[in-house]
Structure 1
């Protein structure tokens, strides 16, 4: 991976964001737990260390700490928020509880370069007055010996401190968030000016490294991959195809619950564009029989997941019987999965946020070694990999889609007729909102919702929609079509703005867009006579209905 920057995680809400900002500057970074020892850090041989923020008070009984020897390794260190506080108390300074907290944007004044002192390399050519993003109540009240105070706000006398001789730097504010006006400049100054790194982590080298690693791991053995059509599994397939070609078997289990035309699109890509062994398992009838009369959403999920692995392992067994036994299972595990499933630690104790979504229930007597070539990449990096590998946009920029597919967007029992109605309505929703998003992209040049809003000039400006789909509820309503009474299904339109799915707000779509979606669905989808728009945020609702 080349030059490494490690982010020591103290439980920060922005921990992953710090690593992403470093990678955005073309320097490879990884997140490590805060109880990492100096010896472990030395073994990793990072070029730089960043200490994240965190929610604790440094004086709390169970507060996360840091190995003091890390500051003696001679490796440049930059601390943010809690990272500044833990640096201060570890090195002999003091942290106090301020009379009032400081949250949100704050005007900061640089204090470096005064009275003959050298200007700060961290701040470099940034303005003497600048806006930063604060989120704290505790703050450094006395800096350690050898440190200089380099900036202050009205509430925080030590907004930043540094000891250039030891290459130790820290800020009470968060340079990693976009609300800190010069945040990127500070990160660049640290990485390239203070640490002497080069922006060498580029997409071509990333692909070359991943392909080489797959070849080295696999050798002459065979690999099998469960291909869903989503971006993660598709990018893994494309990487493995480049690395090992026909040694890879992609198994696409068609449960009949994908969106309109998706099975055909997946097959076209992986039979025409990549030289791999592609197996299309038509399991629509088996899934339909299993789901008949099932209403409970968790039971739907259980049935769909269990049947998938039965279909998948049956293909693996057939390959073995044909004299082509499979040793490896390739998975689309990405870096947040690793972090959130317990690899991240806070205060020495694993903090599991969610179960690993790719844990496989191997049947008795079945075992595969795992290949997870994306396990150090964030989602948007995976998308960039997909584009560089030649995957089409409809796969690379595919919206989040639940594993059980449309089964949990059909409320109540799942029938072929209901699926047909929902597929047609959903296709109209996606076609119209795809076009709406494209118009906004042409206007502001950004596809990310938050960044597009900023680029377009403020919160009143329309912004791209992050996720949008149709839901078919288990009710019917009276309508009038062609002077005749109808009794048909309503379609619920769900469209949200979000960046990470943890929270989401309903999208404020223009009335003309809503009107066009509604009129098209009612006119073009038999069995539907009404369209409603879900205007509930998450929380209290979830994005999906089941």
Structure 2
């Protein structure tokens, strides 16, 4: 029986971070929107109420039926969650007289309480709220304060209910992880046994029970998620897993052949399908980014369906869906706003009559990598940068032609090879070259040229939701620029993108 913590999401930007911190402490947890409540059963060992961009004083503030879990399970309210508990239990929440954002220190701490055991005097925490708890009910006891916030933390007497007005999940709360560990172990009594090994064992057993002797078809992309999903399924059902790796003509240079060889070396039952021309034909003359994405998605499904029909009696489609995809697909229109939809959540076209199996749907990206390492997948595959599903099509601004793809592949290979040889590849979260629909004048030898521009992009990030541009050394950028201009015919200028996300996105389309 998998014990778990339920995190109720009121729309905070930090909700996923709470979950990741809990997972880092080897405790399984699930995020559920406050308005899509899960079943509260014996597997639930505690509940965390997240923060929110809303005020509890708003007319349409998020609300939840506390009677479903309060006093039935240990409960921790974080920021909005704490204010919500106070407000609903005869306390009073008012606008702060001073803005309570940023670093603060707990000037008083009652370490007698399980939640705060071991926290240092004057420990630094991170505040982020416009309201404050001004009054609490008689059965509340204040267990921590800062110089400006009297009720920084509280406990409801004779219960296992706590509230804190700061964010323990962010690194600026220096002992936040200890506080969360106290809640999980001291308050909830969890055993902290959710590890990559335990996940692998239980997932393989579940897959074997669910799938039996049925056949599964899975589309490999060369990326981390589909690779780890394939290896897990392979361990569970062996040769009943049929992997298909489609060359859409929009992969990096030599990637199709190289990754296919790696897959075969891993013992996967994989078939490579060269469909480059089919994709190029579908993309001919299309410049609009969304139309390019839709054309690629449509052709991929057609190719994949053609190949799947060549395998007799396939019953299942394997997918590399991971937990952020699941969270965001459930959270559409509330509470969390999302920028993109996810192609691998929410079912299949009607003509593909397959059941879906998603062995990684419980995991965050960093957990997928840890599971992959435990499965023995090479660091080279696990350390690959994220690569967009539409491939180089959204790194070529404007229409797609095989000639433009070839130019970008050459420039991109020079870029990535230099990042690897210089030791920068593993310091960067994602990098790639972009082909711009801009021609500029140049001089090569005694002749003037009028050729295209390549833009280099490299970012640092944790999960891609936000990103900052990587400060690559000037010497390295100069070397890359020189090699691209000297070796890639059709390029006479190289620029570097120094935009952060937000306001820019990582990809250009």
| TM-score bin (small chain) | over 0.9
Question: 2:253 corresponds to which residue?
Answer: 260
Partner of 1:405: 391
| 1:152 to 1:350, Cα distance in 2 relative to 1, 3 A | closer
Within-5 A mapping of 1:256-405: 256-276=249-269, 278-319=270-311, 324-343=312-331, 354-359=340-345, 362=348, 365-405=351-391
Superposition deviation, residue 93 in structure 1: 2.2
Contact 1:316–1:326 (Cα < 8 Å) also in 2: yes
Using the TM superposition, give the Cα deviation of residue 509 of structure 1 relative to its aligned residue in structure 2, in angstroms: 2.1
Q: Secondary structure at the match of 1:486?
A: strand
Match of 1:506 among 454, 469, 472: 469
The answer (yes or no) to whether the contact 1:253–1:281 under 8 Å persists in 2 is yes
Could you report, residue by residue, the CA deviation over 1:170-226 in whole angstroms, capped at 9, with x for unpaired residues? 110001111001101111111122222222111111111111111111111111111
Provide the secondary structure at the position in 2 that maps to 1:472: strand
State the alpha-carbon separation in 2 of the partners of residues 183 and 437 from structure 1: 33
> Which residue number corresponds to residue 30 of structure 2?
30
Alignment counterpart, residue 492 of structure 1, candidates 452, 455, 458: 455
> In the TM superposition, what whole-angstrom CA distance separates every residue of 1:84-111 from its partner, at most 9, and x where no partner exists?
1111122332222221220011122124
Change (3 A) 1:431 1:275: closer
1:191 maps onto 2:177 in alignment = no
* Cα distance, 1:530–1:390 mapped onto 2, change above 3 Å: same
Cross-structure match for 2:431: 468
1:342, 1:352 within 8 Å by CA — same for their partners in 2? no
Asked if 1 retains the 8 angstrom alpha-carbon contact of 2:45 and 2:74, the reply is yes
Where do 5+ consecutive residues of structure 2 fail to align?
Answer: none
Who is 2:65 aligned against? Answer: 67
Cα distance in 2 between the residues matched to 1:416 and 1:25: 49
Q: Is 1:251 the equivalent of 2:244?
A: yes
In the alignment, the residues of structure 1 paired with residue 488 and residue 337 of structure 2 have an alpha-carbon distance, to the nearest angstrom, of 47
Aligned to 1:433: 419
Q: 1:72 to 1:530 in 2, by over 3 A?
A: closer
Separation (CA, whole Å) in 2 of partners of 1:362 and 1:70: 35
Alpha-carbon distance, 1:468 to partner: 1.4
Once residues 212 and 41 of structure 1 are traced to their aligned partners in structure 2, the CA distance between those partners, rounded to angstroms, is 23
What's the counterpart of residue 537 of structure 1? 500
Q: Give the drift of 1:343.
A: 4.8
Q: CA-to-partner distance for each residue in 1:139-194, whole Å, 9 max, x for gaps?
A: 21222332211111222110011136311111100011110011011111111222
Give 1:139's match in structure 2, choosing from 132, 140, 143: 132
- After superposition, the C-alpha distances for 1:357-389 in whole angstroms (9 at most, x for unaligned) are 215785554311110111111111112222222
2:115 maps to what in 1? 122
Normalising by structure 1, what TM-score? 0.88
Secondary structure class of the residue paired with 1:92: coil
Decide whether aligned partners of structure 1 residues 76 and 540 sit closer, same or farther in structure 2, where only a CA change above 3 A counts. closer
Distance 1:500 1:207 in 2: 23
SS in 2 for 1:220: coil
Return the offset for 1:271: 1.5
CA deviation digits over 1:318-351, x for unaligned, max 9?
22xxxx21110111111111111125785xx796
Superposition TM-score, scaled by structure 2 size: 0.94
- Please state how far the C-alpha of 1:315 moved relative to its aligned partner: 0.9
Report if aligned partners of 1:341, 1:353 keep a CA contact under 8 Å in 2.
Answer: no
Q: Is the 8 A contact 2:169 2:176 kept in 1?
A: yes
Partner of 2:13: 13
Moved more, 356-365 or 502-511: 356-365
- What per-residue deviation string (whole Å, max 9, x for no partner) do you get for residues 392-437 of structure 1? 2333222221211112212223222222221111112112223445
Q: Alpha-carbon deviation of 1:469?
A: 1.0
Q: Distance in 2 between matches of 1:275 and 1:535?
A: 40
- Tell me how far apart the structure 1 counterparts of residues 109 and 495 of structure 2 sit (CA, whole Å): 57
**Cα distance in structure 2, aligned partners of 1:344 and 1:108:** 37
The answer on whether the counterparts of 1:224 and 1:249 sit within 8 Å (CA) in structure 2 is yes
CA–CA distance in 1 between the matches of 2:97 and 2:141? 23
Q: Distance in 2 between matches of 1:362 and 1:10?
A: 30
Flag structure 1 segments of 5+ consecutive residues without an equivalent: 114-118, 440-446, 448-463
Indicate the residue corresponding to 1:45 in structure 2.
43
CA RMSD of aligned residues (A): 2.3
Bigger mean CA deviation after superposition, 187-196 or 471-480: 471-480
Structure 2 equivalent of residue 58 of structure 1: 56
